[in-house]
Structure 1
Amino acid sequence: MKRGLVIGKFMPIHSGHLALIRFAKKHCDELIVSMSFTSLDSIDPQLRFGWLKELLKSDPQIIPEISLDDFDNEKLELKERTQIWADFIRRRFPPVDIIFSSEEYGKSFAENLGIEDVLFDPDRKQVPVSATKIRNKPFQFWQFIPEVVRPYFVKKICFYGPESTGKSTMAVRMAARYETEFVPEVAREMITSNDFSLDDIIRIGHAQTERVKEKAKTANKILFCDSDLITTQIYSQHYLKTVPLILKELEKEIHYDLYFLFDIDVPWVADELRDLENRRSEMLEIFENELIKRNIGAIRVKGNWKQREELIITEIDHLLK
């Protein structure tokens, strides 16, 4: 039986890695795909290994492995570095017959192991991408990022501020413009008046958080969110005079990449849940202060509807570059 080996950080795994793995699989009976990691990696190792296992789970010929790299020394010459790696491979895995790579280290690695090496697409002509390029400019290389990995790179945009400032309408419009998903203010699906309980607000917090996570899975580069857990806490404090601790914990689960703070310089539109028309300035100040407390910057959205839309489009276009 011929056993092959592919090693890499897969930070993140992309189409180029998958092409290498598919190629390697054709040339051996069993293929070990080993993901190395360190404590300094910019993407969580367990998350990366989860992606790897998900992408390879349907093929029993391929064995995903994860290995701590606490021994590599980039200051050493290539031959010395690969000798250290070769010693590790001998200890870590069953005997390997062939190593596959797209990097120059493959040859030296194989020599130290006394096995065959096969170089695949070293010039990146078949799949013109690298993990570094994806980390630096994910949207420019979106087509090379597997679907299971994309949610990690989705930018979450929060439309934030007092009621009746156009957040919901803008979320729908922007999602349509950028052909992506949006997350509504889930509270409006769960309550019909402002006479709600502590249990209600906790359920709303959980539902809002889960909806963001779900929509991020299918979002196209960006996800527009018409609320967040800071907003939930503000209304919990206003109507219930308390904020359940769980809402503060749920807030930590979602990181928003950009906040737009919607100003109150547009006409008030009443509905069954809006009862703060005479306190708009006060509520705007509360919303703004909550961001300041958390050291969160925000782009202020003001002016007429056209001006607001143009401002948001300009900022999103810049984010997508």
Structure 2
Amino acid sequence: MSAPADGHGGSAFEHGLVLGKFYPPHAGHHHLVRTARDRCARLTVLVCASSVESVPLADRVRWMREVHPDVRVVGAVDDIPVDLHDSGVWDAHMAVFRGAVPERVDAVFTSEPYGQELARRFGAESVCVDPDRTLFPVSGTAVRKDPVGCWDFLAPPVRAALTRRVVVLGAESTGTTTLALALAGHYRRRGGVWARTQYVPEYGREFSEQKLTALRAGRPSARWEDVEFAAEDFPLIAERQNAREDAAARAGSPVLFCDTDSFATTVWRERYLGGRDPVIEEIAALNTHHLWLLTDDEGVPFEDDGLRADEELRPWMTARFGAELARTGREFTLVSGTREHRLATAVAAVDALLGRGWHFAPPLPERR
């Protein structure tokens, strides 16, 4: 018999098991895990992924561990086709499951029809949790088909992984901040889930302000031209930029706008110190971005706000950004013209990016 998961009065079971693909994990999965945790002295969550799926097993395990730090989460690769009516196929799956969870299991918690057979094969009690998905009307299939429509059912680490990150970068005084803020405002006005669209400011500017302030503490007459950068400054800037992006992506909408990024730091380092730094390039590779908007220096007057210099270098910077974006295979659009034209060009590029959707490889089909 399948035991209902009503009430959470103490630990009804010594060791419970929750098993699933979590492709990707959503609120229904987390409800299942929390229900099981409340009824077990110990709980193991087994994440099973096939090689054909496009979200790595390691990512799913990491996400589940973050959301559920009080349970044990393990992973296994399971490339065996699904056939709920074939005993031999069941045996093959159980070999994978037992290899990952060899200890005794007292209860198996699922929301699926196969829960009773899975529990029987573990010699455990079957506990069915919200099989009709009345509490959380969502499924992995629905998320893969329409992540935007399911956004509110996704936990912060999954949102951060799925967010489309758009970077606005360019030479000094070419309108990167203006454009990034305008884009964030444009998408917020769409309402719904888009109302949470985030903007990430340039950490390098904050860092520069701090350096100038520190210099003026000893030399009140110091100007921006007197500030000197050290080689170790730029990896720090890149790391902080990455961290702030990740924090914003966890709390935002399906699109995030960044005023520069860690990749741009490689060119800024070249501008101030000359040469490249492989450490910064490694840091830049840690964050995934999807589109870069390069602001043209032509047609934008140079404004010295106290943290800018060398107006004559702007064409060189624009060219270097463009060359490095092309060399590294990053998708980018050059935005030129009036402020209105730049915004229109940028919105069209972002809409095209979002219009391509989120593509998940289909899981192994179930034989019927």
> Aligned pair 1:208/2:217, yes or no?
no
Which residue of the partner structure matches residue 55 of structure 1?
A: 67
Amino acid at match of 2:323: N
Aligned with residue 231 of structure 1, among 261, 264, 274: 264
Distance in 2 (CA, whole Å) between partners of 1:150 and 1:227 is 21
Percent identity, aligned pairs only, is: 30
In structure 2, distance between residues paired with 1:224 and 1:207: 16
Do 2:234 and 2:269's aligned partners in 1 also have CA atoms closer than 8 Å? yes
| SS of structure 1 residue aligned to 2:329 | coil
Q: Residues 88, 44 of structure 1: CA spacing in aligned structure 2 closer, same or farther, 3 A cutoff?
A: closer
Q: Name the SS of the counterpart of 1:260 in structure 2.
A: strand
User: For 1:99, what is the secondary structure of its paired residue?
Assistant: strand
Does the 8 Å CA contact 2:84/2:114 hold for their aligned counterparts?
A: no
1:289 deviates by 1.0
Which string of whole-angstrom CA distances, capped at 9 and with x for unpartnered residues, describes residues 42-98 of structure 1? 33333322322332335xxxx423142356344795433223334555563433344
* Alpha-carbon separation, structure 2, partners of 1:90 and 1:41: 22
Of 59, 70, 81, which aligns to 2:89? 81
Provide the residue aligned with 2:180 in structure 1.
171
* RMSD, aligned α-carbons: 3.0
The yes-or-no answer on 1:310 pairing with 2:344 is: yes
TM-superposed deviation, 1:274: 3.3
Q: Which residue of 2 aligns with 1:249?
A: 282
Structure 2: stretches of 5+ with no match in the other structure: 1-11, 189-195, 213-223, 356-368
Which of 10, 34, 48 lines up with 1:36 in the alignment?
48
Q: Counterparts of 2:206 and 2:176 in 1: how far apart (Å)?
A: 16
Contact kept, 8 Å, 2:48 with 2:78, in 1: the verdict is no
Asked whether the 8 Å contact 1:268–1:277 carries over to 2, the reply is no
Letter in 2 for 1:208: Q
In the alignment, structure 1 residue 150 sits paired with structure 2 residue 159: yes
Structure 2 counterpart of 1:188: 205
Q: How many Å separate the matches in 1 of 2:247 and 2:35?
A: 33
Structure 1 spans left out of the alignment, 5+ residues: none
Q: Give the distance between the partners of 1:147 and 1:214, measured in 2 at CA.
A: 9
Report the secondary structure of 2:268's partner residue: helix
Partner of 1:11: 23
Q: Which moved more, 1:140-149 or 1:262-271?
A: 262-271
**Structure 2 CA distance for partners of 1:87 and 1:252, relative to 1, 3 Å:** closer
Aligned to 2:105: 96
**How much does 1:300 deviate?**
2.3
Match of 1:140 among 149, 153, 171: 149
> Alignment partner of 1:52: what SS?
helix
* TM-score of the aligned structures, taking structure 2 as reference length: 0.74
Note if contact 1:52-1:64 (Cα within 8 Å) is conserved in structure 2.
Answer: no
1:65, 1:282 → 2: CA distance? 51
Letter aligned with residue 217 of structure 1? R
| Equivalent in the alignment of 1:275 | 309
* Corresponding residue SS for 1:217: helix
Cα distance change of structure 1 residues 242 and 298 upon mapping to structure 2, 3 Å threshold: same
What amino acid does structure 2 have at the position aligned with 1:170? L
The 1:244–1:94 alpha-carbon spacing in structure 2 relative to 1, beyond 3 Å, is: closer
Of 229, 232, 254, which residue of structure 2 is paired with 1:197?
229
Residue 282 to residue 96, structure 1, CA distance change in 2 (3 Å)? closer
TM-score between the two structures when normalised by the length of structure 1: 0.83
Write the deviation string for residues 250-279 of structure 1: whole angstroms up to 9, x where unpaired. 221222111112223433132134334334
